[in-house]
Amino acid sequence: MEELYTLEREVGRGSYGVVFEGHMAKTGQTVAIKRLPCSNPECIELYLQELWAMRTTAKNHVNIIALHSCLLQTGRRSLKPLKAGKLPPHLVENVLKGSVAATEQSQERNNVQSNTRRRTNSASRLQERTNTVQARAKMQDRTTSHDSTTPQRPPSRARKRSAQREEEQPGPPRCLALWLVMEYCDGGDLNQYLLSRPPEAQRNHSVVQQLCSAVAFLHSLGITHRDLKPDNVLVCRTPKGPVVKVADFGLSKMSEGEVDASRQRFSSTCGSDFYMAPEVWGGRSYTAQADIFSLGVMFWAVLERITFVEEGTTKEQLGAYVCKARSGWLMPLGEALWENADLQLCIPMKFKRAPPLPPPPGPAMCTLLLDMLASNPDARPLADQLEARVRSALEEDSR
């Protein structure tokens, strides 16, 4: 790793991997390096989906996180670049078989256990011979310790020999982890960036328009993200304002063949509670229009600065919801609309919130948000229409 990149510090950690800030050894360019341990077939499948989606988007859109390279870790200090356009065949095989070859650590542990068993058997045989000699000598010295006469192999030598045997084993190389080297975003995620600053309408409008452009690009390539939320939107600070980047494609899916992304149907329930569409909440099949609903939740939260603290955490997050008046319990919009498809959402929100707050969205933008949050997926605008509709609504409300 040191020959190619240097790791500086950990900047993020999630359910599947760890992200570090690092630098390219030759140029000194700052990069983000994500380590994804290949511990089970389910995780490997998510990693390959993320890698494939990022390779498909490449560096073709300013609002999609750019992938510089991917490295395969096959040993503790063994890394090799993965060729562009190819997936590691043994990892694909692991996913298809539903099993993962033993990792270096587990094989070493097995070797050590095997050595221990051999030493135990040798000690038992030596003990039997010693007992026979002692019996013939009429038990001349009962204080002789078996441990003192049994040769012990130094642990370091055992580890060295185990490693030598591993190197000699034929077959495809094991993959301990995938390392994704991506562009580094110095503004953190969308929650961190926006909530650490006073609200500003122009900045909010810019964020909304950039996200429209990013999702339209993804859908045009047949990619459905399936986990759009502020945590998965990163921010690069520039003199002209924030540039947002959609990231984290672990749950993304690509349409098969020439099938339009808006028509490809999915069945697995995935995403984050407060941003999931009602059809996903209900366990029904869904299309890329579920991404439009997630965008609608984010847009509403960004434009009105609506936040919540999820149960079990202390982190404030951007997200719209339905508030149960009596209990004060917050219900995700998708869940509420699944339970009641005729639920009337109040945009802008009508309950009192603490300042400072941006001005509420105008009538045209409120109408667009209601369309994006429609319980019927077919009533939501398509991604390729959304960018123009957002621009038109913002212009109309500014008159």
For residue 84, the Cα-to-chain-centroid distance in whole angstroms is 21
Per-residue 3-state assignment (H helix, E strand, C coil) for 42-74: HHHHHHHHHHHHHHHHCCCCCCECCEEEEEEEE
Q: Among all chains, which residue has been given the structure tokens 């389910």?
A: 42
- In angstroms, the CA 203 to CA 78 distance is 44
Helical H segments across 250-382, by residue range: 278-281, 289-304, 333-339, 363-372
Question: 133 burial class (0-12, 13-18, 19+ CB within 10 angstroms)?
Answer: exposed
Count of C-beta atoms within a 10 Å radius of residue 193: 22
- In angstroms, the CA 29 to CA 6 distance is 10
What residues are annotated to the active site? 227
Q: Determine contact, residues 255/278, Cβ cutoff 8 Å.
A: no
The encoded tokens of residue 100 equal: 């993962």
